[in-house]
Structure 1
Amino acid sequence: MTINETLARYSDWSFESAFAIYVLATVLLIARYASMRAREVQERELVRAGSAPVAPTGQQPGRVASTPGKTWSEKFGGMGYSLLIVGVVLHIASMVLRGLATDRFPLGNMYEFVTMACAAAVVAGIVAMRRNTDLFVFLLVPVLVLMFLAATVLYSDAAPVVPALQSFWLPIHVTIISVGSGIFLVSGVASLLFLYRIRFPQGEEGTGPFSKLAQRLPDALTLDRLAYKTTIVAFPLFGAGIILGAIWAEAAWGRFWGWDPKETVSFITWVIYAAYLHARATSGWRDTKAAWINVAGFVAMLFNLFIINMVVSGLHSYAGLN
């Protein structure tokens, strides 16, 4: 199989461009988050104190007030969100170009898997956080970390996959797992923010930067619902990926399940998320206990991705690291 070096190079450039745009979008969204949330907090404090808004001076009676221009926070938010969309397009384009360059589905090594999972996380965030766009800041940070690792430690040149992965099950099984993992990233971030938010329920436990940051977050109920809604989407996807992987294993190795390290930790991760959903519906476990279980599931997924693939030897050792 010949590799189209030109398309492979374009794929790398698209990935690098997407990373740079995500960084710039993060900076703009941080500026929007800081300025807008600070203004909202100030307005809430004025309302609590019973202060009425001050009418503009110099306005003549009977005249319609002119519509004020956009604030800097709105401008930052608009530019950041626009860049985010451009970054997603380039991100997806990098995967498409990698697939065209290698004439296969672009999920044959850890670089490609992490690229797909990060793209799924950003798309899921755009859908799930459309009413709380400020939270994009907290999602983009882990996405940027993972993309940096993918471009450095995990990077692999465009090449054919090993014979064991040359199967029609590759795009089915690995795509479902990577998309589910990306959505779990959104859920994990939401649970971490929920745990942080309830540490300062009204932002009144101190005046330090941690208290102020908690005060600027959405309320804990919104964060908890975000974590739950994304988990109930990712959970069946991840479970279906495990089942399809077992079917592929039977076709490739003659058995559905062999307690390979990758299989075992994937199953443990799925059980942890099942425990989270059960705890979320159980009285007395819905708040911090359920959130911690959700965080534990995300940690188990990261352990499965990095430690099992890079350290532990098994039948699923297809990291493709140089």
Structure 2
Amino acid sequence: MSSLLTFSSDIFLVAFFLYCFGFIFYIITVAGAKFSNRDPKAHIRRWGRISFVVSLLGFISHLTFFITRWIGGGHIPTSNMYEFMTFLAMAVMFAFIVVYAIYRKPLIGVFTLPLVVFIVAYASVFPQEVQPLIPALNSYWLKIHVTTAALGEAFFGVGFALSLMYLLRTVDFKETGASARRSQRWIELVMFVGIVLIGFLVSVFAFRAAGYEATFTQETVSISDAGVESSKVEDVTYTTPPIFKPYNSQVTSMDSFLGMKDGLFETPHWMQGVDAARKLNTIVWAIIAGLILYGLIRLVIRKPIAAVIHPLTRAIDPDDLDEISYRAIAIGYPIFTLGALVFAMIWAYEAWSRFWGWDPKEVWALITWLYYTAFLHLRLSRGWHGSKSAWLGVIGFIVVMFTLVGVNLVLVGLHSYAGVD
């Protein structure tokens, strides 16, 4: 089985590079049409076909990874954060293929493929070893609940990409009025968040490549419902310099970095999520790296990033973007409803003998569902089309990502095992 798992890891790397090449080819498809000496439509048709084939090969490689890891690991690979995020990336790619097959708009790939690449890269931050299932996860309802919930979120992700495309297409960067400048600042803020996410990957992998390590001894004190106090001492290892060290901890060993001999700040005690201190520290480094990267990009292009991307979107009808974004979210909504709520409650009853327990992840899944319910209501009953609908699509996926990642940073619950890294 070890050889099968090795093959699984190798084919996953192939999928990652194929996604990267697919994204590059989609850029050539859209941007190269302006500089083509031949018919621009012929250029788009030819390169669009190449881009889609390469992306499809990436998806097939990704699916091969999923199947071989399932066989080699003995259970469906969705039981920890690494496996879930890799499945989410595959689901986003599947949603993209479905939407692209219907509308045949190459620009969709320009914005969706980077999302897939980022999720795959983010997954690689977590431990990649196959872990045994805890009893609560050893159920076929795990397969049904997790896969359908992730597939619904994947269509929300495609809707997010298309909503972002709409905003980039419709915001006028030549206008100087108060309303126009406000729209320009908000869309640039979204671009900045994207750069911070890239900064996250840069900081994590740069320090990992350098072999940085710092270890702390942390004492955790807890009081039971009966009033009995207990304590636990454990080691916490950092792979990035500790701007925020664990709460109530002492440094054991630390590699040299800018003269640091201890963490600069202590993580607040109310951050009770699994490995909350390390995750907070990683987020701070992501923001620092993002600020530096954003500053360098602005120094080179000398204008807002959104203003540079805007001309690439002129070839597509904004009404098409608005409609495709809505359709993607409309497809994802019933799938997410079944996976994240209905099937999740059945699994919860089987695992813990109750349908609902106000676990933090359950609550945020409900918040996500209510949000997209409001989105569809405002879209269908109140006529919220265009920029209003697009902003809702962008914010909605931020809610999704907080449900997947942010909850594990701040809170502890029955789903916290998914956040171990």
TM-score by length of 2: 0.64
Unaligned runs of 5+ in 2: 177-302
Match of 2:362 in 1: 263
The one-character-per-residue Cα deviations of 1:121-140 (angstroms, maximum 9, x if unpaired) are 11211221232123201100
Q: In structure 2, give the amino acid aligned to 1:76.
A: W
- Among residues 249, 252, 255, which one is paired with 2:351 in the alignment? 252
| Distance in 1 separating the partners of 2:310 and 2:362 | 42
1:213 to partner: Cα distance: 2.8
Deviations 1:146-176 (A, max 9, x none): 100111x224302321222011211011111
**Alpha carbons of 1:320 and 1:158: their partners in 2 closer, same or farther (altered >3 Å)?**
farther
Q: Distance in 1 between matches of 2:313 and 2:56?
A: 27
Instruction: Return the match for 1:150 from 123, 137, 152.
Output: 123
Q: 1:133 & 1:284 partners in 2: Cα distance?
A: 28
**1:166 & 1:221 partners in 2: Cα distance?**
46
Tell me, in whole angstroms, the C-alpha distance in 1 between the residues paired with 2:342 and 2:398: 21
* Residue in structure 2 matching 1:89, options 15, 36, 60: 60
1:59 corresponds to: none
Q: Equivalent residue of 2:358, what SS?
A: coil
Please tell me the residue identity of whatever aligns with 2:53: S
Residues in 2 aligned to 1:90 and 1:149: alpha-carbon distance in whole angstroms: 18
Map 1:120-199 onto structure 2 (within 5 A).
120-130=91-101, 131-151=104-124, 153-199=125-171
User: 2:378 is matched with which residue?
Assistant: 279
**How far off its partner does 1:267 sit?**
0.4
Partner of 1:293: 392
Letter in structure 2 aligned against 1:25: G
How far does the alpha carbon of each residue in 1:169-191 deviate from its partner, in whole angstroms, 9 at most, with x for none?
Answer: 11011111111111111011111
Q: Residues 108 and 161 of structure 2 are in contact (CA less than 8 Å); yes or no, is this contact kept in structure 1? A: no
| Match status 1:225 vs 2:323 | yes
Q: Which runs of 5+ in 1 are unaligned?
A: 44-67
Bigger Cα displacement from structure 2, 81-90 vs 302-311: 302-311
Contact preservation (8 Å) 2:11, 2:62: yes
1:115 matched residue in structure 2: 86
Q: Give the superposition deviation at 1:199.
A: 1.1
**How many angstroms apart in 2 are the aligned matches of 1:221 and 1:78?**
24
Q: Distance in 2 between matches of 1:167 and 1:303?
A: 26
Instruction: Report the count of equivalent residues.
Output: 289
Give identity over the alignment, percent: 34
Q: Distance in 2 between matches of 1:79 and 1:287?
A: 31
Residues 252 and 211 of structure 1: CA distance in aligned 2, closer, same or farther (over 3 Å): closer
Contact 1:114 1:150 in 2 (8 A): yes
* Residues 22 and 83, structure 1, Cα contact 8 Å, conserved in 2: yes
Give secondary structure in 2 for the equivalent of 1:318: helix
Structure with greater strand share of residues: 2
Q: Which runs of 4+ in 1 moved over 6 A?
A: none
What is the SS of the residue equivalent to 2:418?
coil
Structure 1 residue 77, shift from structure 2 partner: 3.0
Is the 8 Å Cα contact of residues 114 and 146 (structure 1) preserved in structure 2? yes
Alignment of 1:29 onto 2:26: yes
Q: What is the TM-score of this pair, normalised by structure 1?
A: 0.82
Cα distance between partner residues in 2 of 1:121 and 1:211: 24
Partner of 1:16: 13
Q: Secondary structure at the match of 1:117?
A: helix
Counterpart secondary structure, 1:108: coil
